[in-house]
Amino acid sequence: MSASRTPALVEVRGVAQRYGHGDKRFTAVENINLSIREGEFVALLGPSGCGKSTLLRIITGLNEPSEGAVLYRGEPLRGVNPKATIVFQTFALFPWLTVEDNVAVALQARGVAPEPAHARAVELIDLVGLDGFEQAYPRELSGGMRQKVGIARALAVDPELLCLDEPFSALDVLSAETLRGEVLELWTGGQLQIRAVLMVSHNIEEAVFMADRIVVMDKGPGRIVAEVAVNLPHPRDRKSDAFAALVNRVYALLMGQTQPEEVEFGTEPGQAGKTRALPMAPVTALAGLLEHTNATPYERDEIAQLREDLGLNLDDLLPLVEAAELLGFARVEGGAMILTPLGEAFAEASILARKEIFATRLRRLPFFRWMLRMLQAAGDQALRWEVLLTALERDFPPEEAERQLDIASEWGRYAELFAYDDTEGVFFLEGREAATPAGAGER
């Protein structure tokens, strides 16, 4: 490839980020090798929790990696990279400063005197098309306009590396589309000093529409699983076959393939081997997905269509698909989700029959086998929330452990495997006498 001859602007070498100490040490991202060359627009894509935002913060120097190094123009990075800048997902504007002050403050922080800073700020505000809003406060602006301020502020420091952290995901569909076009225009126009763009995204179409190269990440632990070059000329036609083919290829990469059961299931919490994290899939949404897919079967390569029909974004859809896969309701092959006979039965079953099917499947999962065994072994067949949480914290980071217990509680209560008393904070087996469990009085 010709690109390999141009020098790398950023080089990430063997980077890992770990949190915690000793027993409770968890890996956010691991074994990351990546280079961004001059003139490149790179998109980082992956399910939520894969560490793409962490990687962006490591590349800009906001976070220091636990292992490995980031080289900028061949030099190891120390501290925040002065040549880089970030456009944030939630804009990160100072609500108490006007549009003009929000942009000028970036310049003044670098020692530019107030007058030239404000003059440059006005120019940039004009460039992003917000002329006339200089004295407005962010709260007066729509989401799209706020993000324009974010972009103007990022451009104010004449960055070489422009980092976009899911910049369009907090916007409505139409504003997002407009801003994508405008960012591309700024980038391809070439009047700016920007040498490369790095965009974190959870929207596959967006990444294929904008980037020259897509770096696909996966979670558990966060790592790079594939890189896809996008060699389509700008402006790209979303309706073209080449575009659709690329989108589906990336979908297939992200969704993976359904593995044999023992691989999918993982091991029980507290045992050797990898504990499978439960996907964050609400039961009602999962049932909805199965019903929809059952009513309108999709051919291969139509997962993009499914996402569009349901109006879900990727971060909501992927956990649902993963849950359907884990529970044996569907198989994923080559970017398509195919319902199993069990999945079809579930979609067509009555309210109570669905609970039966769900319970049967849950009993097979190591996570629930472990929970039920713990409950049966406990005196009074009841366990406090904190006890299970502490046990889970050996396998998951603290916040993740809490989320895992939350979703397990929802699934298990829906399936009537166990009940949970919120006032006392106690899980107990159904059919047990409702009595105060041992230890509950100590609070």
- Interface positions with other proteins (CB under 8 A): 17-21, 28, 57, 60-64, 66, 78-80, 82, 84-86, 88-92, 94-97, 105-106, 108-111, 114, 137-140, 146, 153, 157, 422-423, 443
Estimate the crossing angle of helix 114-127 against helix 99-108, to 10 degrees.
130
Cis geometry, peptide bond prior to residue 235 (ω within 30 degrees of 0): yes
299 burial via Cβ count (<10 Å: 0-12, 13-18, 19+): exposed
CB of 50 to other proteins, least distance (A): 16
Q: How far is the CB of 397 from other proteins (least distance, A)?
A: 12
Minimum CB distance to other proteins smaller for 110 or for 300: 110
* Pairing verdict, β 67-72 and 418-421: unpaired
What three-state secondary structure class fits 359?
helix
* Closer of 28 and 323 to other proteins (Cβ): 28
407-to-149, 151, 329, 404, 414 alpha-carbon distances in Å: 38, 37, 18, 5, 11
Residue 421 bridge partners (DSSP): 426
Q: How far is the CB of 262 from other proteins (least distance, A)?
A: 34
Closer to other proteins by Cβ: residue 88 or 420: 88
Q: How far is the CB of 172 from other proteins (least distance, A)?
A: 15
CB of 433 to other proteins, least distance (A): 23
Closer Cβ to other proteins, 165 or 212, answer by number = 165
- For residues 223 and 236, which CB has a smaller minimum distance to other proteins in the complex? 223
**Residue number, 350 or 423, with CB nearest to other proteins:** 423
We find the least distance from the C-beta atom of residue 66 to other proteins, in angstroms, to be 6
Give CA torsion, residues 143, 149, 150, 155, to 10 deg.
Answer: 150
Q: How far is CA 69 from the centre of its chain?
A: 24
Which is nearest to 418 in space by CA: 408, 407, 406, 428? 428
Q: Is 433 helix (H, G, I), strand (E, B) or coil?
A: coil
